[in-house]
Structure 1
């Protein structure tokens, strides 16, 4: 199963791959070079297909846990000042996605979307300390019955050139369902209330829709 956001890119990649394979048979006569070009084209197609995969992960929506919104590695767990919406201290948990991770963004909690905003910006590497404030990004706040307001931020990286965000203010969203997509590597920051009990550790691998990020102490 592939994500709908990859449909056009997958079709283009497929067409290019088929063209390269067919044309190489016509114009390349060195056997080793022919096979190299064809294998390279097929490998490119496989990478595109892998990037846009959308594995089905059934979630039993539960108010008292926060699940990972994306696949990747936990790179930040710290108390910070969140300046855009809360304007006070929050507990930040950040997950970095490499180009080989699943890039579907899933809602980490049930609730009502209170805030959703897109920001144009730079394309610093996703782990840069200023990426959360200066890169292209979207900020979404969901009001959950158990935790209160939870903010998550999709952040573009050096390779990511398009963020897709489905959250709109006033929407009622369900934990684990599709919240958007970030194309070609990036990160997602979660901003949680102070006192939230974090269930992951630095450098731990998180699986979107499965890994429990936090519970309420």
Structure 2
């Protein structure tokens, strides 16, 4: 299930909530290079709560797209999902759709888009990893 809205640092954010029955693989939103990873210990609130962004255990990946824009993928643990797995590190090259990690047993993945991109999914819509296009670049 999806929610979308503005990101704190500008641009947009897409929040993808995963139930314990969903597929929990996280995929690269764009082709590019991982410039930074940041793991933060935290709580295990229900991932659908707004406070989970700030308080829950999480792992962030900053990706510099081949086009030069910066994207951020944040894996957020939930009540049951207390194990975040990331298969990437800073310096790794990615292709759009590559598997980058997983969060076990229900969680949330946030995708922070730079200015010039807009979500193309609606609140409540179901998405499929590697299939659903969740954002697009605006015409310049």
- TM-score, length basis structure 2: 0.94
In the aligned structure 2, how far is the partner of 1:119 from the partner of 1:78? 23
Question: Cα offset for 1:80?
Answer: 2.7
Q: Show the counterpart of 1:138.
A: 59
In structure 1, runs of 5+ residues without a counterpart are 1-72, 82-87
Q: Show the counterpart of 1:21.
A: none
Q: Show the counterpart of 1:51.
A: none
CA distance 1:143–1:185, shift in 2 (3 Å): same
C-alpha offsets along residues 22-54 of structure 1, whole Å, 9 cap, x if unaligned? xxxxxxxxxxxxxxxxxxxxxxxxxxxxxxxxx
Are residues 1:195 and 2:116 paired?
A: yes
Check conservation: 1:147, 1:216, Cα contact below 8 A. Answer: no
Equivalent pairs counted in the alignment come to: 138
| Runs of 4 or more consecutive aligned structure 1 residues displaced over 6 Å after TM superposition | none
In the aligned structure 2, how far is the partner of 1:105 from the partner of 1:124? 20
Which of 20, 26, 41 pairs up with 1:105? 26
Describe the SS at the equivalent of 1:133: helix
Question: Cα offset for 1:167?
Answer: 1.8
In the aligned structure 2, how far is the partner of 1:176 from the partner of 1:201? 20
Question: Cα offset for 1:90?
Answer: 2.8
Check conservation: 1:143, 1:150, Cα contact below 8 A. Answer: yes
CA RMSD of aligned residues (A): 1.1
Q: Which has the higher contact order (CA 8 A, sep 6+)?
A: 2
In the aligned structure 2, how far is the partner of 1:185 from the partner of 1:138? 15
In the aligned structure 2, how far is the partner of 1:97 from the partner of 1:113? 24
Check conservation: 1:163, 1:183, Cα contact below 8 A. Answer: yes
In the aligned structure 2, how far is the partner of 1:206 from the partner of 1:147? 26
Check conservation: 1:111, 1:174, Cα contact below 8 A. Answer: yes
C-alpha offsets along residues 144-197 of structure 1, whole Å, 9 cap, x if unaligned? 023600001000000001000112111111111211111110010010012313
Q: Show the counterpart of 1:123.
A: 44
Q: Show the counterpart of 1:155.
A: 76
In the aligned structure 1, how far is the partner of 2:7 from the partner of 2:77? 20
In structure 2, runs of 5+ residues without a counterpart are none
Q: Show the counterpart of 2:7.
A: 80
Larger Rg: 1
